[in-house]
Amino acid sequence: MAAVEEPKVVPITSTHGSRAEVRGGFGRLWSAAVVSRLGDALRGAALPLLAVSLTDSPLLVSLVTASGFLPWLLFGLLGGAVADRVDQRRAMWTVDVLRGALVAAFAAAVALGHATIGLLIALAFLLTTLQTLFDNAATALLPAVVPRDGLGRANARLMTGQQIAGAFLGAPLVPVLLAVGAAMPFAVDATTYLLAAALVATLRIPAPAREPRPAGRTLRQEMAQGLRALWRDGTLRALCVSTTLCNVAIGALIATLPLLVTGWLHGGHGGYAATLAAYGVGGVAGGLSAGRLVERFGPVRSILPVGVLQTACLVALGTVRELPVAVVALGLFGFSGMVWNVTQTTLMQQRAPEGMLGRISAAFRTLAVAGAPFGALAGGAAATAWGLNTPMLLASALLALAVLALLPAVDRAGHGTTSHTAL
């Protein structure tokens, strides 16, 4: 890994009027993330429509979604270990070139009438497998582009830009592109991957400095080391347990929200669209606020109140049979969720030991993602057994447990017993 020249430093103004230093590559990294998210949104909206046109089997259609979770459980830890071994910038643009080629080939298959449901399942599985390396490398790369005290604002800007691109640009474009041809959303998605790869490849950052690995150490040993490091850090351990419980709750929410809105609330498709729009707007607002909250209160103290707010939102969804209440609750839920995501990522980046961020991030993601499918199944079972609103009450109970799981981390922050950096 050859070293490159140190990029110039570009100052930005913090929320308190002080000057924080952000290294020059953040604009390109932000652009790459937003462009890539736009393409993901196009593909994510078009894939289910294509799937239902290819098969009338609900099981096969659901397998397309399931194949997007499975690689994280199978390869998530491996992706983190590899991300800590390689030049993260190079890994990111290489993965995006591969993903661009895969989606371009799939677009050609659709255009030629050769798409099958099996091909859709294989595509979703391969793209997510590559994503396990890309996402962990991206998390590990950001501290090389942005100084530690600017990570909260940087993560907020990244996630806000991605939310805008996905919710407000990608979704409205899908009908327009489908009017041109069924292959167009996938062709545009392939183009966004290649553009993102070009942007990341032009980043000018020094190669990461790493201690030499002991002779004979295997990837399996390094994955285990990441899990141990995550578990030994009491703050990150509490956050991981809490986030896993949250994802079980969110799995139940996602799986049954259409039934709640169209059935229990009698909101129809228009009501469902309104709740999704409110969630998207809330997410953008949360992204715009998260950096300030992290800088003012610290990551742990920022995440606790939004967990309480999310719990209250789910209680309202499960008890108040009024569509306007559901719209407001989903907006606040989206706001809180974005603040949670920004702060948990920032906390990992601040606390991970040098050279281990990829593995710790992978361990965290793998454990957290595992909760979502179980939550979806539990939500469906609760709706079947006790009524369409009960998954929201189940989810609120899980979120309340998630908040309780955070309390040890808040106590450590209050007494200054942190391992790697002050909160």
**DSSP SS3 for 13:** strand
CATH number of 221-414: 1.20.1250.20
pLDDT one-digit tens code per residue, 23-63: 457 888 888 888 888 888 888 778 777 877 887 775 676 67
DSSP 183: T
Q: What is the pLDDT of residues 123-177, one digit of tens each?
A: 988 988 888 888 888 877 888 788 877 888 888 888 888 888 887 787 778 778 8
DSSP for 356-388 reads: -HHHHHHHHHHHHHTHHHHHHHHHHHHHHHH-T
Give residue 8's pLDDT band: very low, low, confident or very high (50, 70, 90). Answer: very low
Can you tell me the mean pLDDT for 97-122? 92
Residue 252's nearest CA partner among 372, 422, 402 is 372
- Residue 11 φ then ψ, to 5°: -80, 145
Listing DSSP states for 108-154 in one string gives HHHHTT---HHHHHHHHHHHHHHHHHHHHHHHHHHHHHS-GGGHHHH
Which of 105-109, 169-173, 353-357 shows the highest mean pLDDT? Answer: 105-109
Same fold, 19-208 and 221-414: yes
Q: What share of the chain is helix, strand, coil (3-state, %, to 5)?
A: 80, 0, 20
pLDDT greater than 70 at residue 321: yes
CA dihedral 325, 258, 365, 382 (to 10 degrees): 90
pLDDT classification of 420: cutoffs 50, 70, 90: very low
Strands 19-23 vs 9-13: parallel, antiparallel or unpaired? antiparallel
Q: Cα angle vertex 189, ends 185, 194, to 5°?
A: 150
CATH 1.20.1250.20 is right for the domain spanning 19-208: yes
Domain boundaries of the chain, sorted by first residue: 19-208, 221-414
Highest mean pLDDT among 59-73, 165-179, 189-203, 286-300: 189-203
Cα–Cα distance measured from residue 107 to residue 279, given in angstroms and rounded to the nearest whole number:
30
